[in-house]
Amino acid sequence: MTNQKKTYHHGDLISSLIKAASEILQEEGVEGLSMRKLADKVGVSRTAPYHHFKDKNELLCAIAAAGFKAQEARLQTLLSSHEESEKRFHQYVYQYIEFADTQREVYDLMYGRLIWKTGTPTSALKDASKQTFKRWLDWVEQLQEDKVLPDNNSALRVGQASWASLHGLSRLLIDGIYLDRNDIQAMTEQMIQTLIRTQPASN
């Protein structure tokens, strides 16, 4: 108990838990996030969280789902700007990488094996991720019409492939394989060149 008004009944543990968990996550990474430490931080006994989240897995899913909501909101904000289409795409790529960079641990939960492979994604999480991806695909379709992204294939394929590329870049950054900021920046720029339909000086 790291000090807290002891009232037996906490009030709203659920949101307190998510908040505290997010903090630990940001500061110490997912390795530093244990249910016991979390409970202690909130000022509650070890097993109290288990009455609000069936599992540690479920807690993580909740955080990840919130991450998808945040990511989607960011996209919507960008889409409501009156920028040129290609420039917006440019901005999106940087925004995507920046999100992954600043919210590393959340990003890892959203797209990492811990939940999707080792654990079991909540149906709420699945829905959130699907919706975010759908919003992306809708935009890809438009980007194809605007001749920004290639239209040699369906929006789904182009959307999948280009997203996979962004994801790969994000992972290299997140997982500590590329730590050099300059490299990431230059790699991002190069990737944009590759993704965008208009190739510079072909032939």
Q: Which residues bind a second copy (CB under 8 A)?
A: 29, 31, 108, 111-113, 116-118, 150, 152-153, 157-158, 160-172, 174-178, 183, 186-187, 190-191, 193-195, 197-202
CB proximity list for 190: less than 8 A, separation 6 or greater: none
Confirm or reject binding of residue 55 to DNA (CB under 7 A). yes
Local structure of residue 82 (DSSP, 8 states)? -
Among 40-48, 101-109, 163-171, 188-196, the segment contacting DNA (CB under 7 A) = 40-48
Which one, 34 or 142, has the nearer CB to DNA?
A: 34
Which one, 82 or 117, has the nearer CB to DNA?
A: 117
Minimum CB–partner distance for residue 132 and DNA (Å): 26
Minimum CB–partner distance for residue 125 and DNA (Å): 16
Task: Output the CA torsion 53→115→68→62 (10° steps).
Answer: 0
Do 174 and 126 form a contact (C-beta atoms < 8 A)? no
Minimum CB–partner distance for residue 16 and DNA (Å): 9
Angle (CA) 162-199-82 rounded to 5° is 65
Name the 3-class secondary structure at 200. Answer: coil
